[in-house]
Structure 1
Amino acid sequence: MNCYRIPEMAKKYIEYDMIQKHTELPLFPEFRTRLLYAFLSKHSTLSGHSELFGLVTSLVQIGLDTHDMVSVTNQAKEMRAARSRQLKVLAGDYFSSRFYFLLAHAGQIELIGVISRAICDVNRLKINLYQLMKQLKLSAEDYIKQSVEVKTQLYLAFSKLMEGTVRRKWSEILQLFTCCEVLLLEISKSEKVQQHRESWGFWHVFQQATKEERRHLQLDDPDPSKIRAMWLKYKVTTQLYQMLDAAVKQLQEYLQSLEPKELGKELLLVGEPFKLYLSRPKASEEI
């Protein structure tokens, strides 16, 4: 197995003192990047570019995710909050621009077009999702499905570059891993009341809530204690853990039967953090 060092390579472009001092950045897309690297490393002609392609795609993804962290409104009057917002916009643009430079420098002009089209597809999917959310026309199940679709779209751009039967496996494995990743993120959100509107918990509760509870859910500044009470009442965190457990089992079963066996074993190791997360002591909710 080749040494995987893309996160370390990405630090050169991500870890700037000004950004780290004044704003937060999204998490590195570890699982999707490791998957892409693992598949490309087995490619007959692209194996020599597995690090470069994994690096530039991760930088684009971080750029997209950084822009997602920018607040929709620009009402922040306090200088620190305004500076953080501005830096997110600039940082997202900078991270995204690096893929042009790195690929052009390496002579990979065709891939610039592939990734650029994928970025357009990601933004289209996001707009569709935001419109459904704004119109309150989204189910909890659809929220997960569309979140996975948004997160996989950039990496699915490499499907056409995959060889033979690996092409179909790439898409399926990417979906399975990303579903686990999304559920992991949603568990974290369920423990942070301030993020309730951009979460699976909101749609899960909204589907079952009383009229009064729905009204409170839609307030711009809801009472955090009431939101937490609803999350407990409708077992948000517990159900997310159950969903993650089922998704991890499905992923493991798929990988255990994967051919070639060597790839399956490698990807099982990549997915090990999901198992470790499920085995850790859970925060007390209603369980």
Structure 2
Amino acid sequence: MTRKPIAQLARKYTEYDMIARHTDLPEFPEGRVRLLQAVLADLQELGGQAELYPLATSLVQLGLDTHDLVENEESGAKAQTKQMRARQMKVLAGDYFSGRFYHLLSQAGQIETVKRLSEAVCEVNRIKMSLYGKMKQMRVNAEEYVSYGSAIRGVLFMSFGHLMSGMYAKLWPELVERFSRCELLLQELLRLQRPDELSGSWGVWHVMGEGSAEDRRALEERSDDHGLLRQLMDKYGVADKLVALLRQSAGQLQAMLPKLPSDKLAAELANLIEPFLHGPAWVPAAAIKELG
């Protein structure tokens, strides 16, 4: 039976006129949702829940990600009326997505899943608070940043491990962690092309750990200076280092595929991993090949 893409099913909730008119939404968590759907669909006993669970999880994730956008925007007297309206709409949109997840699962009698996802949301927020606290004090290193970021992306999806058994249960936590790590590293590479998004990025924490005293001091004093950030990213070869980390993590993820109980599932996941093996379009193919 052909499966409907979860992103298509989610449009019923995400393409809400009021939201679309006043604000932009975060990127749909396509990769992780497809990963969850593919594995759950391979568990024959789940039936229609193999679509319900990823759909509900995607809405929870969208709710969290939408609220995160609010935290990164300017507030107070300097914000214009249009910006304030967009902020308010993001708060409402995040709440709306969270409410839809609860409605979907409770209607289907999936109270235990509501409980598990709610607990996962609490854990995501706990990890975020820990990361943001360290970032504010400039006490996080580059590897910690990746570990925290991967966990934040993966916790909701980890919560479905109780439905699995055998090799599925054994591999699921590592699959989610590795996939989330690859997503994060790819996102960090893409941020290098957007100077206004470099503040707080992996490259900053890499320079804080590996840079000269002078460069570290400059970062602390001028963390919002786009020109300085761009210069330091180039000076310390951040793009090359991120490509190497992405290629390494993608290779580890790829090496897990032969362990999966289903060849069909392995082939499906191989397609999901493909973007990680090639990196963003602006990264020279020769660089990826050389690192491989």
Taking structure 2 as the reference length, the TM-score comes to 0.90
Question: Which stretch of the first structure deviates more once superposed, 222-231 or 56-65?
Answer: 222-231
SS in 2 for 1:63: helix
1:62-96 CA-to-partner distances (Å, cap 9, x unmatched) read 10011111135622421121112111111111111
Q: Determine whether 1:66 maps to 2:66.
A: yes
Greater shift, 214-223 or 181-190, is seen at 214-223
In the alignment, which residue of structure 2 is the partner of 1:172?
174
Q: 1:270 to 1:115 in 2, by over 3 A?
A: same
Alpha-carbon distance between aligned partners in 2 of 1:202 and 1:125, rounded to the nearest angstrom? 20
8 Å CA contact retained: 1:67, 1:92: yes
Q: How many residues align?
A: 285
Q: Which residue is 1:244 aligned to?
A: 246
Q: Return the alpha-carbon distance in structure 1 between the equivalents of residues 217 and 52 of structure 2.
A: 49
Question: Which is worse superposed, 205-214 or 78-87?
Answer: 205-214
Contact 1:57 1:155 in 2 (8 A): yes
Determine if the alignment matches structure 1 residue 227 to structure 2 residue 215. Answer: no
Provide the residue aligned with 1:115 in structure 2. 117
Select 2:279's aligned residue among 270, 273, 277.
Answer: 277
Q: Say which SS state the counterpart of residue 57 (structure 2) adopts.
A: helix
The RMSD of aligned alpha carbons is 2.2
Structure 1 residue matching 2:71: 3-state secondary structure:
coil
CA distance in structure 1 between the partners assigned to 2:276 and 2:108 by the alignment: 35
Q: Which runs of 5+ in 1 are unaligned?
A: none
> What letter is aligned with 1:178?
S
Residue of structure 1 in register with 2:102 after alignment: 100
Shift, 1:220, TM fit: 6.2
Structure 1 residue 122 displacement after superposition = 0.8
Deviation per CA, 1:112-160: give whole Å up to 9, x if none.
1111111111111111111111121111011101110111011111111
Q: SS state of the match for residue 77, structure 1?
A: coil
Cα distance in 2 between the residues matched to 1:53 and 1:184: 26
Aligned residue in 2 for 1:156: 158
Q: How does 1:257-268 map to 2 (within 5 A)?
A: 257-268=259-270
Mapped to 2, the partners of 1:32 and 1:140 lie a distance apart of: 23
Give the equivalent residue in structure 1 for 2:54.
54
Query: 2:147 — aligned with what?
Result: 145
Give the conservation status (yes or no) of the 8 Å contact 2:195–2:230. yes
CA distance in 1, matches of 2:190, 2:17: 27
Q: Which runs of 5+ in 2 are unaligned?
A: none
Corresponding residue for residue 36 of structure 1: 36
Percent of residue pairs bearing the same amino acid type: 42
CA shift in 2, pair 1:230/1:67, >3 Å: same
Aligned residue type for 1:18? M
Distance 1:221 1:176 in 2: 30
Whole-Å separation in 1 of the counterparts to 2:165 and 2:241: 38
2:187 match: 185
Distance 2:254 2:224 in 1: 40
- Conserved? CA contact 1:256–1:265, under 8 Å: no
**Secondary structure in 2 matching 1:165:** helix
